[in-house]
Amino acid sequence: MKKKTTLADIAKKLDVTTSTVSRALKNHPKISDATKKAVGELVEKMNYQPNNIAAALQSGKSNIIGVIVPTSDRQFFASVIRGIEEVVRKKGYNLIICQSDEQTNKEEKIIDTLLRVQVDGIIASVSKETTHYSYFEKIIQQNVPLILYDRVGEKINTNTVISNDYRGAYKAVSHLIDQGCSRIAHFSGLKHIKIYQERLNGYLDALKHHQLPVDENLIIESDLIGDTEIILDAGSEMTTHLFESENPPDGIFSSSDFAAMGAIQTLKSKSILIPDEVAIAGYSNDFSASIIDPGLTSVDQHTKNMGNNAANLFLDQINNKNETNEYKQIEIEPTLIIRASSSVKPSEKKEASSSSF
């Protein structure tokens, strides 16, 4: 049961003080090459690993960033994390990843933990339950940089990076209209969550700008966050419901890819032709959107880019500690990926071959 070697251990062997060793390690200019070399050798031989915790206590910097995701097993968040990591690891930061599981109380607990661990910053997307933000305020009060991404609390003043959901929805719906749809249904998420409200607005405005009427019966609100299977089923049910009505839609814009896929499956089982009879578009451009047949047109949110941006906001704030506290809001323009579910001639080449029915 070996003890870890410390600065003191190697100092003793060399008959110098820890300060000297410490300096040698940081390549301090006023340390003789001789001792530097000696130190270097012993470090190797004794397998010395500097103790970051001690350094952190000293400096007040842990070099750890806390990242809060509602759930880690969603491509969306995995990809954001990757984006964050890409930029911060180069700067020597580590990530502690925590999941709120979409629950307010877990979220609060996590924040407490993160603060105790003395993270240098927190990058978070709020849970679907969250409606008050007192514990997020706490982060700011403690002078810890807070960056919110995607699902941001409106009431809280801090750095944010979001995807322009209004524009994403607008693009998708306009595209459906271009393809000849005139009765477009919308699967909306819970409206108290801003991203879903924005997508709904984009949907509504697209209709208006194209002189199409809004039919409230075609707008179905449901919880689009959670277990994938459940959302698939929800999509199926909404679709069944719509197509049992007397005046079914000829297009569906879903705020969730999975609900859209449920719709595709249901329509196929009913032998309703996609996109000929109903054109469909989803949201998020999940990998499976390219796999389903027909390929699902979807709005890509550039999630990794979102992570990159969040990380950069963090770095910015770190480096401007003393400047005016101006928070930045970054908005990312989403891209519509057109596939066979909405277009007879899908523009994505890869899909062209694979989407034969």
Comparison of 88 and 173: residue with beta carbon closer to a copy of itself: 88
Among 21, 39, 79, 283, binds a copy of itself (CB under 8 A): 79
Among 47, 59, 142, 325, binds DNA (CB under 7 A): 59
User: Is 7 one of the binding residues for DNA (CB under 7 A)?
Assistant: yes
User: Is 335 one of the binding residues for a copy of itself (CB under 8 A)?
Assistant: no
- Mark the segment that binds DNA (CB under 7 A) among 10-18, 75-83, 215-223, 240-248: 10-18
Comparison of 10 and 234: residue with beta carbon closer to DNA: 10
Residues 240-279 close enough to bind a copy of itself by CB under 8 A: 261, 265, 268-269
Q: From a copy of itself, DNA, none, which one binds at residue 18 (CB under 5 to 8 Å depending on kind)?
A: DNA
- Shortest separation between residue 341's beta carbon and a copy of itself, angstroms: 13
Comparison of 35 and 201: residue with beta carbon closer to DNA: 35
User: Is 122 one of the binding residues for a copy of itself (CB under 8 A)?
Assistant: no
Dihedral over alpha carbons 141, 108, 234, 246 (to 10 degrees):
-50
Q: From a copy of itself, DNA, none, which one binds at residue 247 (CB under 5 to 8 Å depending on kind)?
A: none
User: Is 63 one of the binding residues for DNA (CB under 7 A)?
Assistant: no
User: Is 85 one of the binding residues for a copy of itself (CB under 8 A)?
Assistant: yes
Residues 11-50 close enough to bind DNA by CB under 7 A: 15-20, 22-23, 25-26, 28-35, 50
The site for DNA (CB under 7 A) is made up of 4, 6-8, 15-20, 22-23, 25-26, 28-35, 50-51, 54-55, 57-60
